Structure 1
C-alpha cells in the first residue's frame, strides 16, 4: 500500500481468497484492505495515538439517513456527552479532494451537527470547525487534542 502523509503504524494483515485483509481494532474483525480502508485505519490510529481520543468514543461507518437515503460516515468521534464532535471523510490516496467531497461531509453534518469536519485522502488533510453563529466553516491547521 501507498505511504501516506501520516505516521507509520503497525497493522495486522492477512490474506484470504486472494484479498488482503486488515484487522480493524474498533470493529474487532478483519476487513478488506482497500486504498480507502488504508487511509481510514491510519487516521483512526492517528486520532488515538497522536490526538489521544479514546477508542470508546470513535465509531466507524455510522449509519445515518439523509433525504430517505441510508448513508454511512467513515469515522465519527463523539464527545464524552455522546454528541458527535468530529466527522471524518476518508478517500483513497488517488482520489482528489474536491468541493463535492466537502459537500458530502457537510450534508452528513446537517444530520449529526458535529463541531469539526475532516476530509482526508491520506496525503492531504483538511480540518474545519463549524462556526454556528456565522453558519460557516473555519479552516484550521489541525484539530485539538482530546481533553
Structure 2
C-alpha cells in the first residue's frame, strides 16, 4: 500500500488550533511568531486564534492570527507571508480589507524576515508604524480607547 502525498508532507502542531497542520513556509513563519508572542511577549494563547473566519463584503476570508482582549474585543490582526514573499503595499491592503470588518487598533504583517506593526488611526488620527511588536500588556495599554 502506498502512502498519499498529504501524509508525506511535514507537519507541525499548532497550539492555537490544537491540531497538526501542514508545515508550509508561511506556516513556519506563523508558528515562529506565535511562539515568540506567547513565550517572550506574554500573549495569552487563550486570547489568540489562527485562521479566524470573517466576511469581507460577500466573501468569506480567514485572517491569519487574531489577538483579542480579556473582554473579547479584537486588538490585533497578523498577516503572514512566506519568507520569499516581499511585504508590499498589496499585503498591507489585504490586512486593511480584513480590518474593515474587525476594526482592530494594531495590524502586523511579516514574512519572518521583516515585521511591521502599525497602530491604526481612527477619527482623524494618523496610522503610525511602531518600532517593534508590543508585549501583550503594552498592547492593552496602546489600544485602550477611553470612553467619555
Aligned partners of 2:71, 2:120: CA distance in 1, in Å? 18
Q: How many residues align?
A: 133
List structure 1 runs of 4+ shifted beyond 6 angstroms.
Answer: none
2:55 maps to what in 1? Answer: 65
Task: Return the offset for 1:32.
Answer: 0.4
**Residue 88 of structure 1: which of 70, 78, 86 is its match?**
78
Aligned partners of 1:143, 1:98: CA distance in 2, in Å? 19
**Residue 119 of structure 2: which of 123, 129, 134 is its match?**
129
Relative to the length of structure 1, the TM-score reads 0.86
Q: Which runs of 5+ in 2 are unaligned?
A: 1-5, 138-148
Over aligned residue pairs, what C-alpha RMSD do you find? 1.4
Task: Return the offset for 1:135.
Answer: 4.8
Q: Which runs of 5+ in 1 are unaligned?
A: 1-15
SS in structure 2 of the partner of residue 131 of structure 1: coil
Larger radius of gyration: 2
2:145 maps to what in 1? Answer: none
From the two aligned structures, give the one with the greater helix fraction.
2
Aligned partners of 2:52, 2:74: CA distance in 1, in Å? 11
CA deviation digits over 1:22-48, x for unaligned, max 9? 011111111000000000000111111
